[in-house]
Chains A and B, each alone.
Chain A
Amino acid sequence: MKVSKKNLTLHKDEEKTLTLVSPLNFSTLQFSLNENSSLRLIIFLNGEVKDLSFIGKLKKEAKMHVTIFDLSDGLLNLNANIELVGENSSLDWTLASVAKENDDKNIDVSFHHLVERSRASMHNLGVALQGGKLRFAGVGKIYEKAYKASVSQVAKIIVYDDDSYGRADPILSIDCDDVIAMHSASVGSVDENAMFYLASRGVDEDEAKLLLTLAHLQMAINEIEDQKIKEDILSSLRKIL
Chain B
Amino acid sequence: MHTLTIKNLHVSIDGKAILKGIDLTLNQGETIALFGPNGHGKSTLLMTIMGHPRYHVDEGEILLDGKDILKLSPSERSRLGLFLAMQLPVEVPGVPTADFLRSAINARREKPISLSEFYKLLNNATKEVNFPFDMVNRSLNEGFSGGEKKKNEIMQMRILNPLFALVDEIDSGLDVDAINYVAKALKEEQNAGKGILIISHYARLYEIVKPSSVVIIVDGRIVFEGDSSYVEKIDVEGYEWLEEEYGISLKKGEDAKPKVISLGSCAVKKNRAKEKNESK
| Residues of A that sit less than 8 Å from B by CB | 191-194, 196-205, 207-208, 211-212, 214-216, 218
A197, B93: Cβ atoms closer than 8 Å: no
Asked, given contacts A197-B86, A197-B90, whether A205 binds B75 with beta carbons under 8 Å apart, the answer is yes
B103, A203: Cβ atoms closer than 8 Å: yes
B100, A203: Cβ atoms closer than 8 Å: yes
Kindly provide the distance from the CB of B159 to the nearest chain A CB, expressed in whole angstroms.
9
**Chain A residues positioned under 8 Å from B54 (CB to CB):** 192
Asked, given contacts A196-B53, A211-B99, A215-B139, whether A201 binds B92 with beta carbons under 8 Å apart, the answer is no
Give the distance in Å from the alpha carbon of A208 to the alpha carbon of B74 in the complex: 12
**Chain A residues positioned under 8 Å from B107 (CB to CB):** 201-204, 207
User: What 7 new A-B contacts, CB under 8 Å, besides A200-B84, A202-B75?
Assistant: A192-B54, A193-B90, A204-B73, A204-B107, A207-B103, A212-B95, A215-B93
Kindly provide the distance from the CB of A69 to the nearest chain B CB, expressed in whole angstroms.
16
Kindly provide the distance from the CB of A83 to the nearest chain B CB, expressed in whole angstroms.
33
- 5 chain-A/chain-B pairs, Cβ below 8 angstroms: A197-B89, A197-B90, A200-B50, A205-B75, A216-B94
A218, B94: Cβ atoms closer than 8 Å: yes
Q: Is B52 an interface residue (CB 8 A)?
A: yes
A204, B75: Cβ atoms closer than 8 Å: yes
Give the distance in Å from the alpha carbon of A192 to the alpha carbon of B53 in the complex: 8
A201, B90: Cβ atoms closer than 8 Å: no
Give the distance in Å from the alpha carbon of A205 to the alpha carbon of B89 in the complex: 19
Bits for B76-88, please: 1 = Cβ < 8 Å to A, else 0.
Answer: 0111000110100
A201, B89: Cβ atoms closer than 8 Å: no
Give the distance in Å from the alpha carbon of A192 to the alpha carbon of B92 in the complex: 11
**Chain A residues positioned under 8 Å from B74 (CB to CB):** 196, 199-200
Smallest Cβ-Cβ distance to B85: which chain A residue: A200
Q: Using C-beta atoms within 8 Å of the partner chain, give the interface range for chain B.
A: 20 to 34
A201, B160: Cβ atoms closer than 8 Å: yes
Q: Is B104 an interface residue (CB 8 A)?
A: yes
Q: Which of the residues B52, B103, B140, B156 comes within 8 Å of A196, measured between beta carbons?
A: B52
Kindly provide the distance from the CB of B175 to the nearest chain A CB, expressed in whole angstroms.
24
Q: Is B138 an interface residue (CB 8 A)?
A: no
B50, A194: Cβ atoms closer than 8 Å: no
B73, A194: Cβ atoms closer than 8 Å: no
Q: Is B2 an interface residue (CB 8 A)?
A: no
Give the distance in Å from the alpha carbon of A143 to the alpha carbon of B48 in the complex: 57
Smallest Cβ-Cβ distance to A212: which chain B residue: B95
Give the distance in Å from the alpha carbon of A216 to the alpha carbon of B50 in the complex: 26
Kindly provide the distance from the CB of A237 to the nearest chain B CB, expressed in whole angstroms.
14
Asked, given contacts A212-B92, A215-B94, whether A202 binds B86 with beta carbons under 8 Å apart, the answer is no
Q: Which of the residues B75, B108, B156 comes within 8 Å of A199, measured between beta carbons?
A: B75
Smallest Cβ-Cβ distance to B80: which chain A residue: A202
Pick the 10 closest A-B CB pairs, nearest first: A215-B94, A202-B78, A199-B74, A201-B104, A202-B107, A197-B90, A199-B75, A202-B79, A215-B95, A193-B90
Kindly provide the distance from the CB of B249 to the nearest chain A CB, expressed in whole angstroms.
33
Smallest Cβ-Cβ distance to A219: which chain B residue: B94
Looking at A191, A192, A201, A208, the one whose CB has the most chain B CB atoms below 10 A away is A201
Smallest Cβ-Cβ distance to B142: which chain A residue: A215
| Chain B contacts with A in 44-68, Cβ cutoff 8 A | 50-54
Kindly provide the distance from the CB of B209 to the nearest chain A CB, expressed in whole angstroms.
21
Give the distance in Å from the alpha carbon of A15 to the alpha carbon of B63 in the complex: 66
**Chain A residues positioned under 8 Å from B101 (CB to CB):** 201
Kindly provide the distance from the CB of B213 to the nearest chain A CB, expressed in whole angstroms.
25
**Chain A residues positioned under 8 Å from B52 (CB to CB):** 196
Q: Which of the residues B50, B51, B83, B104 comes within 8 Å of A203, measured between beta carbons?
A: B104
Kindly provide the distance from the CB of A207 to the nearest chain B CB, expressed in whole angstroms.
5
Smallest Cβ-Cβ distance to B159: which chain A residue: A201
Kindly provide the distance from the CB of A97 to the nearest chain B CB, expressed in whole angstroms.
17
Looking at B74, B108, B139, the one whose CB has the most chain A CB atoms below 10 A away is B74
Give the distance in Å from the alpha carbon of A214 to the alpha carbon of B99 in the complex: 11
B100, A201: Cβ atoms closer than 8 Å: yes
**Chain B residues positioned under 8 Å from A205 (CB to CB):** 73, 75
Q: Which of the residues B51, B84, B92, B160 comes within 8 Å of A198, measured between beta carbons?
A: B92
Smallest Cβ-Cβ distance to B101: which chain A residue: A201
Q: Which of the residues B53, B92, B108, B139 comes within 8 Å of A197, measured between beta carbons?
A: B92
